[in-house]
Chain A
Amino acid sequence: MSLRRTQIAEQLRQRLLSGIHLGGLAPGARLPSVRDLATEFQADPRVVMAAYRELEKEGLVEVRTRAGIFVAAADSSESQLQRRTADWMVDVLMEGLGRGIAAREFPERLRQSLETRRLRAACIECNHDQIASLAEELHQDYGMDASGVDTFTLLSDPELPQDVQRADLLITTRFHIIEVEPVATSLGKPWMVAELRVDPFVDIAHRLPKGPVYFVLTDPRFAAKLARIYKESPGAANLHALIVGRDDIAQIPEDALIYVTRLARERLGQKVLPEGFVPEVRAFSRATSRQIFSFIVRANLTAPTRQPS
């Protein structure tokens, strides 16, 4: 009797581990009932139950009275994340196979569509904080060589800045279409308007009537711009912009909502920030991300020349 139990436990363990490795069985998934397995193995249900109890002791399954038997839950959020990543990668690789790309060739194909050409972007804005945000995001997430150009320099210099002349792509925000469009047209360069994610702006607008919102930044021009953006919002007086190196960061009350731009964060260095500040995160909207990737991929994969049919 106990030999039979050990045999069945071994079979179940093998199936379970194999199922988990192959991704068919997720933590928390329901396993076949004792009755079903008893039929399959032509064994006494009590023997099957005992086998399941053995696996329960090993932490592989969970026996829930009157509910059924389940794959034990994953113990950490790390493994959950790992699982999601794995599922996504498998989907991508499968799509690749469907298009005739072997899994092991895939990374190389991806590299070809990203890194065949080194692409330069010039980020045009009116203040250093936003310039730095655009340039860093383009560099970190999209791998472009990104430089920043001040709208003031763009307009006042008789010659166009080197960074603009050498750029493969000009990028700005909707505030400066007026300055960038004629330059791009005269140079015949592609240009785009980066749309920023609206949620931080909406959050701030909601928050203003309720209490103070502090912006820690570096360029007074960005402070002025923010004041203009929120001028009409209820509670506009609650908006405070502090400039690193000029204003005292320590004066920020504890309950305030605090935003810190990338450049400000960099300038502050090791200096301790008030707790609970909101660091600047990815700023580009999904539509903008897609546009940037389209530009990069298309620039890398040379379009085939169509034959006349």
Chain B
Amino acid sequence: MIARRTQIADTIRRRLFSAMHLGLVKHGGRLASVRQLAQELEVDLRVVLAAYRILEAEGLVELRPRSGIFVAPAALWGAPASAVPADWMVEVLMQGLLHGMPALRMPDGLHRCLETLRLHAVVVECNADQLYSVPAELRRDYGLEVTALDICSLNGDGRLPAALRQADVLVTTPFHKPLVDRLNLAAGTPRVVITMCTDLFVEVNRLLPTTAVYFVVVDPRFVAKLRKIFERTPGAANLRPLVIGQDDLSGIPDEAPTYLTQLARQQVGDRPTLRRVLPEARIFSEESSRQLLSFIVRTNLQALAGMKRV
């Protein structure tokens, strides 16, 4: 029962963070009722309520009797205690002890597992928008050094660019996996195929049958890719990709949901004409994050073990 409650709390927390990132809910916004969630997740009402109480203790939601469940105000979210829930930190430290790592050595231990080596990633993609957003996330969240490589620069004589020869890890998306698989990299250079966090796609899929959804991008090649991604979605004709400098952005209706790629965001700035801009989000799926972290931690631990032996 307790395990189940924590599981459900984890699920709700993940959804909540992602919905906040995507701008689907705001501070003070109403969340799914206990009854709705119990039905959807096929668990007892009491388990869902207990899960919500956990999130309440973390300062993420507010339970108002007889009124509903709401996202906690920004003041609570911003507080360090809710960013690092104490109970969870305690759990992490307990596990550390069981793994033979005393508390004070843990921050440094983790740091070494991430940054003993300056790991270099090469991102291979076909458009400027993704060549901007994927490296940005790799740098920001994982601390990797990144070179962005346009896939067009690979076609031709078959010789590898220097960046690729020296890469510790190669990152691409499923579209380019076949090509990347054929590259003759140094033996054992791992290739991580990044799948995207599905929340955005799910949301766009949900909107398309009834509403026009605008995508503001920089590279026309990304337009083609977007069309391909949503080609089977009912209402695919409602997808409106606009290229900065080529299409007229002032035509976007006030209330239309609009998605800007990170690069587009850089170029447009905060234009008051765009009303319903969906905010930036982490784009990597859970599985991709796990692959990346596994690679980073393993490589660093191996390096550390090697240093100890010498």
Contacts and interface: CB of A to CB of B under 8 A. Distances in A.
B17 A141 contact: no
Interface centre among B62, B85, B90 (most CB of A within 10 A): B90
Given A97-B289, A107-B111, A302 B104 contact: no
B297 to A, nearest CB: 5
B94 A286 contact: yes
Interface centre among B104, B114, B185 (most CB of A within 10 A): B104
A304 B111 contact: no
A160 interface: no
B30 to A, nearest CB: 13
Given A22-B291, A88-B99, A104 B114 contact: yes
A173 interface: no
Contacts of A13: 187-188
Interface in B55-77: 59, 62, 64, 73, 75-76
B305 A293 contact: no
A298 B81 CA distance: 9
B293 A103 contact: yes
A303 B286 CA distance: 30
Given A18-B188, A93-B293, A143-B104, A113 B110 contact: no
| Residues of A in contact with B, size category | 35 or more
A114 B113 CA distance: 19
B143 interface: yes
Contacts of A93: 110, 293, 297
Contacts of B90: 290, 293-294, 297
A103 B141 contact: yes
B76 A22 contact: no
A110 B294 contact: no
A92 B99 CA distance: 12
B301 A82 contact: yes
A293 B99 contact: no
B295 A100 contact: no
A112 B80 contact: yes
B104 A297 contact: no
B86 interface: yes
Nearest to B20: A100
A95 B88 contact: yes
B190 A17 contact: yes
Interface centre among B59, B62, B79 (most CB of A within 10 A): B79
A99 B59 contact: no
A17 B38 CA distance: 44
Contacts, number: 179
A21 B81 contact: no
A302 B294 contact: no
A273 to B, nearest CB: 23
Contacts of A112: 80, 84
Interface string B99-121: 10011101110110111000000
Interface residues of B, number: 65
B94 A301 contact: no
A85 interface: yes
B89 interface: yes
Main secondary structure of the interface of B (DSSP, over half): helix
Given A109-B83, A290-B90, A307 B298 contact: no
A21 to B, nearest CB: 4
Nearest to A299: B86
B142 interface: yes
Contact of A307 (B73, B104, B185, B297): B73
A110 B89 contact: yes
B192 interface: yes
Contact of B76 (A21, A78, A108, A306): A306
Contact of B295 (A22, A95, A303, A306): A22
Contacts of A110: 89, 92, 106-107, 110
B62 to A, nearest CB: 6
Contact of B141 (A97, A301, A306): A97
A58 to B, nearest CB: 10
B94 A23 contact: no
Contacts of A294: 86-87, 90
Contacts of A97: 141, 282, 286, 289
A108 to B, nearest CB: 7
17 contacts: A21-B299, A23-B290, A23-B295, A23-B298, A24-B291, A88-B99, A92-B95, A93-B293, A98-B14, A112-B84, A114-B93, A282-B97, A294-B86, A297-B86, A303-B81, A304-B59, A304-B76
Given A21-B190, A93-B297, A293-B94, 7 more contacts: A101-B83, A106-B110, A107-B107, A110-B92, A293-B103, A302-B81, A307-B75
Interface of B: 10, 13-14, 17, 59, 62, 64, 73, 75-76, 79-90, 92-95, 97, 99, 102-104, 106-108, 110-111, 113-115, 140-143, 185, 187-192, 282, 286, 289-291, 293-299, 301-302, 305
